[in-house]
Structure 1
Amino acid sequence: MTSLGLVGLRGGCGVSSLVAGLGQALHALGQRVLLVDLCPENLLRLHGNLPFADEGGWARSLLDQRLWADSLWQLREGLCLLPYGRLAAAEQGQLERFLLGTPEFWSTRRAELAAHFDWLLFDMPQRLAGHAAAGPLDLALRVLEADAACHALLQGWTGEGESLLLNRFDPTRALQRDLRLLWQQSLGSRLVPQCVHADEALAEALANKLPVGLYAPHSLAAQDLNSLAVWCLAARARQTAAPRGVSA
């Protein structure tokens, strides 16, 4: 099973929509996919048409001392979602302390899931180190937009082992074109060659509680995510084929 984590370079980069869309694209390529929401905002569930009023999720089950697997939803055969659940602020702090003290939490559960899924996609928070501790990831994508704020944040970014994914790219805007060219030159292969273009279909898909590939399969964003899924499969194949101790 391949584990893939997506997290924003800053807030508001559209990570949850990308997790849902990429998971659906991988599923369309014949992969068994589980989407896991590690964010207290609990928004990934909306892309699976789950009622927001439903408080269930792995975090809620953990605090209530119930089986976390009972919170797993099947969206399609071979495409499942594990929402975070609804927690009060004090409960989020309680869970953060538990996860910081139990770094093997997700590693143990990943081993339990390995027989059932080919891909495990994590929607990860920017902060809350315990929540973001999904264990060693096979692939890690840091999501950014072509704006001055992200460019400034990149100056102090090291991101060991991470690749950068450009989201909401609008080629009609000169600043975005210039920043993408600059990043291509300065970041090289660390910038994923496939970006996701700005597309109203992404916002409409969330409003319709679906991944964009199911809501608007012929949209530009859906096609971008299909290409990104192929890139992920190729990147994982390169890692698997690389001799031990040699970077792919």
Structure 2
Amino acid sequence: MTSLSLRGLRGGVGTSSLLAATGHALHSLGERVLLVDMCPENLLRLHFGVSVSEPDGWARAMIDGVGWNTQAWTVEPGLGVLPYGRLKREEQDQIEQHLLKDPELWRRRQASLAEHFDWILFDVPLRLPGHAHVGPCALRLRIVEADAACHVLLQQEEALGGHLLINRFDPVSQLQRDLLLIWRKQYGARLLPLSVHQDEAMREALAFKKPVGAYAQASLAAQDVLSLATWCLTRRLEPV
């Protein structure tokens, strides 16, 4: 089993939508995929038709003392999503403290899932270090937009790990084209050789409770994400 995590460099760069789309694309290529929402916002489930009123999830299960592995939703055979669950702020803090005290928790959980899935994809939050302890990941992607804010944040990162993926790229924008050239020179192979283009279909897909590949298979964003899934398959590594 290969693990992949997506984490935004800042909020609002479309990480959850991109993770949902990547999981769907990998599944369309014949892979067995589980998507895990590590974010208290609990939005990932909405891309797979789970009702907004549904409170359950792995974190909710931990608070309630029930089995976390009973909380996954089967979207279709070989494709599942494990929501975070609906928690109050103080309950989110309890989960964060638990994960900080037991950073190997998701390593053990990954091991228990290995025989059932080829891929496990994590939607990792920005500012909860305990929630970022998802165990071994062969691929860690930081999601950025080609804008001034992300450029400044990249310069401020002292230990920038993983690969960089540009989301919502607009080739008409001179600023974005310039930043792409700068980042290619500055980050080299760490910047993925592909970008996910700005496409209204990505926003519309969430309104229809679907990943973009299921909502608009022929859209530019869906084709970009399919290329991303293919790139992930070629980089499949044993987790370390």
Query: TM-score, normalized by length of structure 2?
Result: 0.97
Give the structure 1 partner of residue 108 of structure 2: 108
Gaps of 5+ in 1: none
Give the structure 2 partner of residue 93 of structure 1: 93
* 1:52, distance to aligned residue in structure 2 (A): 1.2
Give the structure 1 partner of residue 66 of structure 2: 66
Secondary structure of the corresponding residue to residue 3 of structure 2: strand
Task: Supply the distance in 2 between the matched residues of 1:78 and 1:136 (Cα, whole angstroms).
Answer: 22
The one-character-per-residue Cα deviations of 1:75-111 (angstroms, maximum 9, x if unpaired) are 0110100000000000001111111111111011100
Distance 1:160 1:145, change over 3 A: closer
Give the structure 2 partner of residue 12 of structure 1: 12
Secondary structure of the corresponding residue to residue 7 of structure 1: strand
Give the structure 1 partner of residue 126 of structure 2: 126
Q: RMSD of the alignment, in Å?
A: 1.1
Give the structure 1 partner of residue 208 of structure 2: 208
The answer to whether structure 1 residue 46 and structure 2 residue 46 are counterparts is yes
Q: How many residues in Structure 1 have an aligned counterpart in Structure 2?
A: 239
The one-character-per-residue Cα deviations of 1:103-132 (angstroms, maximum 9, x if unpaired) are 111011100000000000000001111111
Task: Supply the distance in 1 between the matched residues of 2:226 and 2:180 (Cα, whole angstroms).
Answer: 21
Give the structure 2 partner of residue 193 of structure 1: 193
Task: Supply the distance in 2 between the matched residues of 1:165 and 1:148 (Cα, whole angstroms).
Answer: 16
The answer to whether structure 1 residue 27 and structure 2 residue 27 are counterparts is yes
Task: Supply the distance in 2 between the matched residues of 1:39 and 1:142 (Cα, whole angstroms).
Answer: 15
Task: Supply the distance in 2 between the matched residues of 1:54 and 1:222 (Cα, whole angstroms).
Answer: 27
Query: TM-score, normalized by length of structure 1?
Result: 0.94
Give the structure 2 partner of residue 181 of structure 1: 181
Task: Supply the distance in 1 between the matched residues of 2:81 and 2:136 (Cα, whole angstroms).
Answer: 21
Task: Supply the distance in 1 between the matched residues of 2:136 and 2:232 (Cα, whole angstroms).
Answer: 17
The one-character-per-residue Cα deviations of 1:51-91 (angstroms, maximum 9, x if unpaired) are 11110000000110001111100101101000000000000
The one-character-per-residue Cα deviations of 1:215-240 (angstroms, maximum 9, x if unpaired) are 0000000000000001011111xx45
Task: Supply the distance in 2 between the matched residues of 1:228 and 1:119 (Cα, whole angstroms).
Answer: 14
Secondary structure of the corresponding residue to residue 231 of structure 1: helix
Task: Supply the distance in 2 between the matched residues of 1:159 and 1:120 (Cα, whole angstroms).
Answer: 25
Instruction: Letter of the 2:60 partner, please give it.
Output: R
Gaps of 5+ in 2: none
The answer to whether structure 1 residue 139 and structure 2 residue 139 are counterparts is yes
* 1:149, distance to aligned residue in structure 2 (A): 0.2
* 1:136, distance to aligned residue in structure 2 (A): 2.2
* 1:160, distance to aligned residue in structure 2 (A): 5.0
* 1:158, distance to aligned residue in structure 2 (A): 4.5
Could you tell which deviates more after superposition, 160-169 or 137-146? 160-169
Task: Supply the distance in 2 between the matched residues of 1:162 and 1:127 (Cα, whole angstroms).
Answer: 17
* 1:157, distance to aligned residue in structure 2 (A): 2.1
* 1:22, distance to aligned residue in structure 2 (A): 0.3
Identity over aligned residues, as a percent? Answer: 58
Secondary structure of the corresponding residue to residue 50 of structure 1: coil
* 1:154, distance to aligned residue in structure 2 (A): 0.7
